[in-house]
Amino acid sequence: MSKAKQDQSNTTSFDEFMAKHSGIVNQPANPAVTGFHLLVLEHGGNISLADVMKGPRRELTANEIESRLVNQWWPVRLLREAAKEGSPDPFRTLLEYILREIGAKPPVSVLMPLPGKPGRPIGEKGNMIYLKWIDLRRPMKRRGKLKPDWNRLARECFPAKFKQGSAEDRMKLANVCRQAVSRREPKNATKSSSN
C-alpha cells in the first residue's frame, strides 16, 4: 500500500475522534498530588503500611509534580490517543489547543491545515470553542431549567470582543459559541442545549 493511501485510511475527523474518546473527556482527573499520592506513584500502586510509615523516598521537585499533573490533563491524554491511532487532524487540533492554553499561540504557518475534502474547510475556531466548552466542564446556568451558559463560553473564547462589544455583539458571540458546540456535540446531547 502506498504511503498516501495508508495516510488516507488512518484519517479520522476531529468530530469522530471526539465521539469515540468521550470517555477520556468525561473521566475525572486525578486529585491533587499529595505525599500519599507520591508514595502510591513511587510503588506503582502496591503500597504497604510499612511504606506509608517510611514516607516518600525523596521529595519530588515542582517540575516532576507539574509533569505528572499535566500528563493527567484530558487534552494531553487525548493527544496521546490521537498519536497512537495515527489521526493527524485530531492530533493537530489538540496540539494547537494545548499550545493556546499554555499561552504559546503558534504562528500561522506552523500548524498548516491538512488537505481535506473539497469545499469550505471546517473552521478551527469552532474546534477551539468546543474544546474550551469541554475544558470549562460544559458551563450551565439555571433559569427555570438547566441550560448551557453560552455567554460564559463567549466571554472565555473572545475576551476582548466580549468586553468591548455591545449587547448585540455579545449575543452574536454567544450564538457563534452555541452553533460551534451544537455542530460538534453528539445529536442526543444538543437537543437539551438548543433551547
Domain assignments of the chain as residue spans, ordered by start: 125-195
Top pLDDT among 54 and 68 is at 68
For residues 126-142, average pLDDT: 83
pTM higher than 0.95, yes or no? Answer: no
Q: For residue range 6-63, what is the model confidence (pLDDT) as tens digits?
A: 444 467 788 888 888 877 776 655 544 455 555 555 555 555 555 555 655 556 666 7
Residue 158 near residue 171 (C-beta atoms within 8 A): no
Spell out the residues 6+ positions from residue 113 whose beta carbon is closer than 8 angstroms to its own.
Answer: 92, 121, 124
Question: Pick from 181, 76, 88: which is nearest to 127 by CA?
Answer: 181
- CA-CA distance, 114 to 92, in Å (whole number)? 9
